[in-house]
Structure 1
């Protein structure tokens, strides 16, 4: 299952971590956790509980027990494509679609929240059209390399001999 990150709190949590891999134009961030529950879901749950009450309204008490974190279920993907690096909305939409498609093509991605951030613009002289096939192919190839690099096991850095 691939979900879409939309809440700013989730983006802040993931982008607060160091990038897992970088390429010429993108940075990839990962956090092995589920997205925060939405306020809409919590309000709906409270409304459903209130409707089930048969007596007078009782004051709600919050549970104070510690719930251990559970392993994340599924892959949640977010894309950060700022206007300063992709001026035209057509280009921003193309980049976001290609990011989601790159994750959809890789069923073996570790679960958790993933954010791909555009960190530098594509050359407008090389790709004059905002939604050209050449730009689409270049983005897809770079994203494939980025995901391959992120999935490679991290090799420990050699210690400096003093």
Structure 2
């Protein structure tokens, strides 16, 4: 699995639309378009993503996770859970985006085992919706 790094890659995947969502996360999947045949004298435009390669990106905005510790915890969990579901995912590009904040009254610590377990369970639900057995 390859990690997405360029902002243009994230934008391209997110513009393709979402395929699954949970209360805190959205999963975007790149939909490769059919290759257009070009006549002589024209070159194909370079593609952003390599066919047959699973690519994963994690987007955790400061708006929804104020502390860097929490954003890093969520990002690490996204990549760990995606590795668990790697075999069942179609080899294309994905972006997991945090879309809501976790309750500060329930999760007092910025990086607790309870928060880690909650994030992990929700990500398993998210990937379970698009994964093939």
TM-score bin (small chain): 0.7 to 0.9
Aligned-residue offset at 1:151: 2.8
Gaps of 5+ in 1: 34-62, 153-162
SS of residue paired to 2:29: strand
Task: Compute the TM-score of the two structures, normalised by the length of structure 2.
Answer: 0.84
Partner of 1:83: 62
Partner of 1:116: 96
Aligned equivalents of 1:18, 1:67: Cα separation in 2: 22
Partner of 1:22: 21
Instruction: Decide whether the 8 Å contact of 1:3 with 1:77 is kept in 2.
Output: yes
Aligned-residue offset at 1:108: 2.1
Instruction: Decide whether the 8 Å contact of 1:32 with 1:111 is kept in 2.
Output: no
Gaps of 5+ in 2: 33-40
Task: Compute the TM-score of the two structures, normalised by the length of structure 1.
Answer: 0.69
Aligned length: 122
More divergent stretch after superposition (68-77 vs 22-31):
68-77
Partner of 1:95: 74
Instruction: Decide whether the 8 Å contact of 1:86 with 1:121 is kept in 2.
Output: yes
Match of 1:72 among 51, 56, 63: 51
Structure of greater Rg: 1
Aligned-residue offset at 1:32: 4.2
RMSD over aligned Cα atoms: 2.1
Aligned-residue offset at 1:66: 3.6
Aligned-residue offset at 1:93: 0.2
SS of residue paired to 2:51: coil
Write out the 4+ residue segments of structure 1 that deviate beyond 6 Å after TM superposition.
67-71
